[in-house]
């Protein structure tokens, strides 16, 4: 048997593993859900931010268009006065100002060239073919037109505006340099400092079309959002990606927090479940141990009982005597339960002159003491019967024998002297239940003086009665276990016995067996002796 204290920690109980797995699955589901919610909200936020940035960029268009448009109107009004043009545009040009170069271009001539230039020479002026194509085909009057010199050593963005409706008027052209490496970070305190961005010219996201970006490497990688920014006659494309978490660090870490807490809770639950499961297993083992002890007890009890029964049987007669003209039978039925044997006994003794003495008795109490008392009473009774088989004599002598010494028991006893040939029966009782007499008219209990049991008082008389019986009469003498039941008046048990003994014509042996089996089947609590005789004619 495994000692209950030596339970190992491994392997864990399956229910604990199940609890752990359940916890991990729930945790995993929560982590995935929170991650999905986080991703969705980040994407939504990013889309909002790129829209905001796009609107801010678009809003810068008028700050470029307005001075150029005003200058174009002024040129038309002054017939292209260089001086007026310079005076008007001077505050917009120079280092740290809006443009590096502004120039006035008279249109409608075959050879296009600027008539006035402020700041550095425009890059466009060094490319006459490109300039011709730009002003004659690509631009429209009345809107801000865009061009770019991205592959130039001095990359720049060019803006053009000419007043509408005047085919031979003037175009005002401005250039704004781009950083040579196109790298420009947003200012730290800007509303968009949490974003990386790349700004492209036109509907393009090609690296060659990038105007300016905060990234060291293009294209933009990871989570990103793009928007198209209308700008004058052209468009920019803006692509952004978040630097950190737009929704806040907490929501970014939430899946990890859930994962960690879920893992800890799952582990704790598994440990607790394992502990409970072990306690339960321990309790079950304990029950097993108790069952085993109970089984061992039962075995010991059965063994003890069997020893006591062996003793009881040793004290009872080995064989019943053969008797001419008389059938004799007996049964001893041990109690269905309980260790203690009873003090029941019986004897059938031939006493000469065709007579037989039947003695049956019951010593109060149970156990070894009742059994040994029974043995001494039985042998004393046999001795008195050898002296004089008269029932009243035997009982009176036995009573005086018992009362001559100190004792704490009593015994009920029945003596019946059978004269076989004379069909005569002499019976005396010492507080014993009367025997059942069965003949052709049915069964009835012999009416006797009860007298007092053996061992109650000295010199008490034991009155006997003599009856004549008809042929084939049966006598059944028994101890109280046959008829006594808890919670039942004795007469009910007596009536039950009479019914059982007379309901069918059975041989004496069958009758005794039936009575004994009836007892055994009901699980009675007291040992019982039954003696039967039947006249054979």
Partner 1 sequence: MAELGVEPPTVQIDVHLDSTGAHVVVLSGELDSSNAATLQERVESIPPQPTQRLIFDLTGLRFMDSAGIAVLIGAVRNASSVSLRNPSPIIQRVLETTGLSNVFSIEP
Q: Which residues bind partner 1 (CB under 8 A)?
A: 294, 297-298, 301, 337-338, 340, 362, 364-367, 408-410, 412, 429-433, 449-453, 455-457, 480, 484, 486-491, 526
The residue among 36 and 300 lying less far from partner 1, judged by its C-beta, is 300
For residue 90, CA distances in Å to 78, 82, 119, 158, 175 come to 17, 12, 9, 18, 14
Under a CB-based contact definition with an 8 Å cutoff, are residues 339 and 370 in contact?
A: no
The residue among 306 and 337 lying less far from partner 1, judged by its C-beta, is 337
Pairing mode of beta strands 145-149, 411-419 = unpaired
The residue among 42 and 449 lying less far from partner 1, judged by its C-beta, is 449
- Residue 369 CB, nearest distance to partner 1 (Å)? 11
The residue among 353 and 488 lying less far from partner 1, judged by its C-beta, is 488
- Residue 500 CB, nearest distance to partner 1 (Å)? 19
For residue 531, CA distances in Å to 80, 242, 441 come to 156, 109, 21
- Residue 289 CB, nearest distance to partner 1 (Å)? 14
- Residue 441 CB, nearest distance to partner 1 (Å)? 24
Under a CB-based contact definition with an 8 Å cutoff, are residues 394 and 382 in contact?
A: no
Give the 3-state DSSP-derived string for 104-163, with helices as H, strands as E and coil as C: EEECCCCCCCCCEEEECCCHHHHCHHHHHHHHHHHCCCCCCEEEEECCCCCCEEEEEEEC
The residue among 50 and 414 lying less far from partner 1, judged by its C-beta, is 414
The residue among 45 and 448 lying less far from partner 1, judged by its C-beta, is 448
Give the whole-angstrom CA distance, residue 411 versus residue 427.
17
Give the 3-state DSSP-derived string for 8-43, with helices as H, strands as E and coil as C: CCCCCCHHHHHHHHHHHHHHHHHHHHHHHHHHHHHH
The residue among 124 and 363 lying less far from partner 1, judged by its C-beta, is 363
- Residue 460 CB, nearest distance to partner 1 (Å)? 9
- Residue 16 CB, nearest distance to partner 1 (Å)? 33
Under a CB-based contact definition with an 8 Å cutoff, are residues 368 and 382 in contact?
A: no
Which class for 180: exposed (0-12), middle (13-18), buried (19 or more C-beta within 10 A)? exposed
The residue among 127 and 339 lying less far from partner 1, judged by its C-beta, is 339
Query: CA angle, corner 143, sides to 142 and 145, nearest 5?
Result: 130
- Residue 1 CB, nearest distance to partner 1 (Å)? 19
């Amino acid at each position: 048997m495994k000692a209950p204290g030596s339970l190992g920690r491994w392997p864990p109980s399956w229910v604990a593993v199940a609890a752990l797995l359940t916890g991990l699955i729930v945790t995993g589901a929560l982590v995935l859900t929170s991650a999905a919610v986080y991703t969705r909200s980040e994407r939504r936020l990013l889309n909002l931010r790129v829209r905001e940035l796009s609107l801010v960029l678009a809003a810068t268009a008028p700050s470029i268009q307005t001075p150029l448009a005003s200058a174009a109107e002024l040129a038309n009004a002054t017939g292209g006065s260089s001086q007026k043009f310079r005076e008007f545009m001077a505050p917009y040009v120079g280092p740290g100002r809006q443009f590096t170069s502004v120039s006035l271009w008279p249109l409608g001539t075959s050879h296009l060239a600027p008539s006035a230039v402020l700041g550095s020479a425009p890059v466009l002026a060094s490319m006459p073919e490109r300039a011709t194509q730009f002003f004659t085909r690509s631009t429209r009057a009345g809107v801000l037109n865009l061009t770019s010199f991205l592959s130039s050593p001095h990359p720049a963005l060019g803006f053009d505006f000419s007043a509408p409706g005047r085919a031979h008027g003037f175009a005002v052209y401005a250039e704004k340099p781009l950083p040579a490496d196109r790298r420009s970070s947003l200012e730290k305190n800007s509303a968009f400092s949490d974003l990386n961005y790349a700004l492209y010219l036109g509907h393009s996201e090609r690296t060659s079309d990038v105007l300016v970006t905060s990234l060291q490497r293009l294209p933009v990688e990871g989570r990103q959002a793009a928007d198209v920014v209308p700008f004058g006659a052209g468009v920019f494309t803006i692509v952004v990606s978040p630097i950190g978490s737009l929704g806040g660090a907490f929501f970014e870490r939430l899946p990890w927090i859930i994962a960690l807490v879920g893992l800890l809770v799952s582990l704790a639950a598994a440990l607790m479940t394992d502990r409970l499961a072990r306690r339960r297993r321990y309790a079950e083992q304990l029950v097993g141990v108790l069952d085993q002890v109970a089984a061992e007890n039962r075995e010991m009890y059965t063994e003890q009982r069997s020893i006591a029964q062996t003793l009881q049987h040793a004290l009872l007669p080995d064989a019943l005597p053969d008797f001419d003209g008389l059938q004799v039978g007996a049964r001893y039925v041990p109690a269905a339960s309980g260790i203690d044997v009873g003090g029941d006994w019986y004897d059938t003794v031939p006493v000469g002159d065709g007579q037989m003495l039947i003695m049956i008795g019951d010593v109060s109490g149970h156990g070894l003491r009742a059994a040994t008392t029974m043995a001494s009473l039985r042998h004393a009774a046999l001795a008195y019967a050898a002296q004089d088989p008269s029932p009243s004599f035997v009982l009176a002598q036995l009573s005086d024998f018992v009362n001559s010494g100190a004792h704490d028991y009593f015994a009920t006893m029945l003596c019946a002297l059978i004269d076989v040939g004379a069909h005569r029966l002499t019976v005396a009782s010492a507080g014993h239940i009367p025997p059942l007499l069965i003949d052709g008219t049915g069964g009835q209990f012999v009416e006797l003086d009860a007298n007092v049991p053996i061992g109650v008082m000295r010199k008490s008389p034991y009155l006997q009665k003599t009856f004549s019986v008809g042929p084939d009469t049966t006598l059944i003498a028994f101890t109280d276990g046959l008829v006594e039941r808890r919670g039942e008046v004795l007469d009910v048990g007596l009536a039950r016995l009479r019914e059982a003994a007379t309901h069918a014509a059975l041989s004496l042996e069958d009758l005794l067996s039936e009575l004994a089996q009836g007892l055994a089947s009901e699980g009675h609590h007291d040992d019982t002796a039954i003696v039967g005789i039947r006249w054979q004619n």
